[in-house]
Chains A and B, each alone.
Chain A
Amino acid sequence: MTITHEAVAHVATLARLDISAEDAARYAEELSKILTLVEQLNTLPLDDPALDAFMDETMATDIPQQAVLTRPDLAFKHYTREALLKNAPEEEEGFFRVPKILEENSN
């Protein structure tokens, strides 16, 4: 599998990463190499329906399957607002401050 520079640029946008043209070329080459290795998976009998029973970790075991876990919906106070905001790069009046999100004319 060969990845183009354009594909790399698209993935970088999805991943919210600024990537220079130079880095895009390097990533295209490195990711292509890794994805070639990944083609090994095509040699395996992955269509075998017997695998369906092993798609979940808890199925491949003699441990009784654990029911979906729930816990009482109780409020408990772990942190104070002050403690959490201490790590914020920017805060204002008890909130995280971020750069502009919406355009002036958007609704």
Chain B
Amino acid sequence: MAFQGALEIHRQIQEGKITAVSVLKQSLQAIAQQDLDIGAFLSVHGETALAEAAAVDAKVSAGETLPLLAGVPIAIKDNINVTGMPTTCASNILTGYISPYNATVIEKIKTAGLPIVGKTNLDEFAMGSSTENSALKVTRNPWNHHCVPGGSSGGSAAAVAGAMVPLSLGSDTGGSVRQPASLCGLVGMKPTYGLVSRYGLVAFGSSLDQISPFAGDVADAAALLQLIAGFDPLDSTTLKTETPDYLTTLEQLPSNLRIGVIQELNGEGMQPEVAENFAQMIELCQKQLGASIQTISMSGIQPAIAAYYIVATAEASSNLARFDGVRYGQRKKTTGDVHAMYRKTRAEGFGPEVTRRIMLGTFCLSSGYYDAYYGKAQRARALLRKQFQEAYGQVDLLICPTSPTTAFKIGEKASDPLSMYLSDIATIPVNLAGIPAISIPSGFDKSGLPMGLQILGPRLSENKIFQVARAIEQVTGYHHLLPPALAQTVAQ
């Protein structure tokens, strides 16, 4: 399985060459062998997954045509609700919670017949860039076990990079799928805001959050996005668009392609190897794809982090008010009244980063500070949207490195929240503007850690982004590469 993509596995299941049950068993075996070291999963659900796989095999035996991706095992970030499974958000405050409902994306995945093998680790409530803020366990980067997998969807990234599942879902609020994809050598696609329903995703920053796929190559990511996209009456922010079909035209390359390089994200302040690699990617687009390249300057990029940490924390402070020890999760006993119970339950249930962000968000929304902070951040966000729109008047797509560095050592940035925040400089503007962007593998630094290229487009330009990403992937051949240690194990 390690060398095959999700679409290939699905094709072989449909043709009866392999069974969904045997694929699932391989996945469960890989988890049993590797996850003790990697720590991608918070819970594994082999029994229900086996029943789902068996149902797919029964359909094949009955001669039915399977829905797209049927039979392909998938891992789900543990902030997305699946009936009967725990949803921990990697937080102590949700200890013991079993979800009574499915997120809309899970309904779609179950209807299509992708066995859900387990729930994956994350930074608590998706707040972080390294998965180190998980209250439950440490997740290691399959490319180097001393390094972080990125975050916040680090478990979902490590599960695919460690060849334990071919596909996974994460959530991307400020880069939480694209950055770990970059650090783990994967494809991660953050869709246009409103393309995928957020119903059943535990809310962090509601105007920024999008459920997003991880995969080993562009076609697999496109297939999974196609499966989960679409209007949902249960999420009024979803767009009334037609169900997309990315796969039919995936191999076509747009003619007269114009690509913009964001000046503010072109090398400065980045790891030298990342800057060099990005220069090579620009050249590749020019020479191999025949694209015209121009530099685009956007003054709204650098201050985007500031705007983000106001908007995201303000929304989080409001969204996380529901964790109060009344309806679910852990309640801390007090002798006092209900307010004393709230304060104690929340203080003991939330970890330091979540508390820090709730405090910051509450401050920014508090009387006397609202205009100076939240109001200003919303204006900065408008400026960014305006500058992106102007940029897309001149070019079709924009490119930049996904992350200023490759994977850093576990513990290296954990004590300095500000330096951790700054590592999201290239991904945050995308969420603030509500536009789509993909991260694809673009090479390796001298210690063998993966690097990523980010491709950004206007709203609902996923088709074009996938086409260009696919064309680049065909040239580089960096998709479906396994970490050396793992490749050795698989070969034996």
Contacts and interface: CB of A to CB of B under 8 A. Distances in A.
Contact of B358 (A17, A35, A60): A17
A89 B326 contact: yes
B347 A31 contact: no
B236 interface: yes
Nearest to B307: A41
Nearest to B341: A99
**Range of interface residues on chain A?**
35 or more
Interface in B172-222: 193, 207
A84 to B, nearest CB: 6
A44 B299 contact: yes
A18 B340 CA distance: 8
Residue with the greatest number of chain A CB neighbours at <10 A, chosen from B306, B325, B327, B359: B359
B386 A37 contact: no
A6 interface: no
Nearest to A79: B100
Contact of B366 (A11, A35, A59): A11
Interface in A1-54: 3, 7-8, 10-12, 14-19, 27, 30-31, 33-35, 37-46, 48, 50-54
Range class of the B interface residue count: 35 or more
B376 A60 contact: no
B414 interface: no
Contact of A87 (B233, B329, B344, B386): B329
A55 B378 contact: yes
B388 A60 contact: yes
A12 B100 CA distance: 32
Contacts of A41: 303, 306-307, 376-377, 380
B310 A38 contact: yes
B458 interface: yes
Nearest to A47: B379
Contact of B359 (A15, A52, A55, A89): A15
25 contacts: A14-B366, A16-B343, A17-B346, A17-B350, A18-B344, A27-B359, A31-B356, A34-B418, A38-B310, A38-B373, A44-B379, A44-B383, A46-B379, A51-B379, A55-B382, A60-B388, A61-B389, A63-B239, A86-B100, A87-B98, A87-B327, A88-B327, A89-B325, A98-B326, A99-B338
Interface of A: 3, 7-8, 10-12, 14-19, 27, 30-31, 33-35, 37-46, 48, 50-55, 57, 59-63, 66, 69, 71, 78-79, 83-84, 86-90, 96, 98-101
Given A34-B417, A52-B382, A86-B98, 14 more contacts: A15-B346, A15-B359, A17-B350, A31-B363, A37-B305, A38-B306, A38-B377, A46-B380, A54-B383, A54-B386, A59-B385, A79-B101, A87-B328, A90-B331
